[in-house]
Amino acid sequence: MATTRTIRSVEVLRVTGGRRLTGSVTLPGAKNSVLKLMAATLLATGTSTITNVPDILDVEIMAELLRRLGCEVEHDKDRARVQITVPERPDHRADYDLVRRMRASICVLGPLVARVGAADVALPGGDNIGSRGLDMHVDGLRRMGAEVTSEHGYLLAQASERLTGAETWLDFPSVGATETILMAAVLADGTTVIDNAAREPEIIDICTMLQEMGAVIDGVGTSTLTIEGVASLHPVEHATVPDRIVAGTWAVAAVMTQGDVTVRHAHAQHLSIALEKLVTAGADVDILDDGFRVRMGRRPAAVDVVTLPYPGFPTDLQPQFIAMNSVAEGAALVTENLFEARFRFVQELARLGADVRTDGHHALVRGRRALSGAPVEATDIRAGAGLVLAGLVAEGTTTVYGVGHIDRGYAGLVPALVGLGADVERDLVTE
């Protein structure tokens, strides 16, 4: 039987290397925060407004998920804001066709159990960077009185009565588990304590919004959160914290291209370790009132990196630093302690000529003076960013496939790069 080959068009980024980046960029709101803020609106009947919203694909996916839960969602991209009107009783089923595209969809679990006593959430998909189990999410909800089971690819949570406050110790300071338990606890009866809670700026952001909604939370920014449940919350308007990972990506781009880039609307204190690493690599970093400036006048020196939960070095900047080390002077050891499959992208980086050897959760990177442009595939958001940065310094043109991943985390990446002097364009190819 003859087979028919389907021809389709896919978007790619064509990056021609050799340009020095100069100028300024303004940060959008954080991807890792805005999606959780949107989910948190489920905790209060009425209309909440979130501002400083990044124009990324994941926001559209979360908006559609909330619509299917019965909410009205208006996304004004020109004003970078989302208005979400939550009904008295939202629906409680988050379907697979949306959840598979974005792991952050799991963050509706806690609010739905707290508000309506039930949640059917498809087991999530998202970036292919390793297993991220939901055991801590489930354990926290069970401690508060919910019954949680898994059937036919869905996580089913039910609470016949209001959740009850409980003490929870997280084996690992998981951002997702902290958020799930936190958002369930704000409407529970009594006191909930989360020990070994995540401390990321995005956790502080969601705590701030919940407090504005009327939640009672102590210990914000520390590893122990104490939540006194309240009877109800009210809608609010809240501005999303700036995206520290996008800020770090621009900083690395400046160093790799030996450029001079000012990042506006950034909180430099959220990137203290990463910026210190860039200083070690030879960059000049100036902290400004509304951001920071990174200048580099020579080939960077290789720097070792060990990823850890905040305030340690962020795993979401690990691919960008591997890309930098691939053209640095000397050799560096990069240790990944959070996601076991995050080194998958080095196979694509090797196609550009990078010398990276992996062994378990370690990667030895030997810097080379030049990379060579080639077709590569982005397997997740940050891998895509790392490959684009490598393309900026590679000889010739690098064609980056898997643009959809990049679009999930970087709003307006191409025009921003072009504005800094890069030779980058979005194109359609057939395959």
397: nearest Cα among 3, 7, 12:
12
E strand or H helix at 276? helix 272-280
179: nearest Cα among 156, 209, 149:
209
Strand, coil or helix: what is 213? coil
What distance in Å separates the CA atoms of residue 270 and residue 371, rounded to the nearest whole number?
A: 31
Using the CB atoms, write b or e for 81-114: b if 16+ within 10 Å. bbbbbbeeebebebbbebbebbbbbbbbbbbbbb
Helix then strand count (H, E) for the chain reads 14, 26
Q: How far is CA 171 from CA 138, 266, 313, in A?
A: 13, 31, 19
**Residue whose structure tokens are 């979400």:** 84
What distance in Å separates the CA atoms of residue 166 and residue 142, rounded to the nearest whole number?
A: 9
Cα of first residue to Cα of last residue in the chain, in angstroms, is 22
Question: Which stretches of 146-267 are assigned E, i.e. beta strand?
Answer: 147-151, 154-158, 167-169, 191-195, 216-218, 224-228, 237-239, 260-264
Does the active-site annotation cover 127?
yes
List strands edge to edge, sheet with 423-430: 375-377, 397-401, 9-16, 423-430
Q: Is beta strand 154-158 parallel, antiparallel or unpaired with respect to 118-122?
A: antiparallel
210: nearest Cα among 190, 239, 247, 236:
236
Out of 120, 127, 205, 260, the active site residue is: 127
Query: CB burial class (10 A; 0-12, 13-18, 19+) of residue 381?
Result: buried
**Residue whose structure tokens are 């010739």:** 396
What distance in Å separates the CA atoms of residue 375 and residue 15, rounded to the nearest whole number?
A: 10
Eight-state DSSP code of residue 21: P
Tell me phi and psi for residue 281, to 5 degrees.
Answer: -70, -10
Q: Is 161 within 8 Å of 187 (Cβ atoms)?
A: no
| Count of Cβ atoms closer than 10 Å to residue 370 Cβ | 12
**Which residues are catalytic, by number?**
127
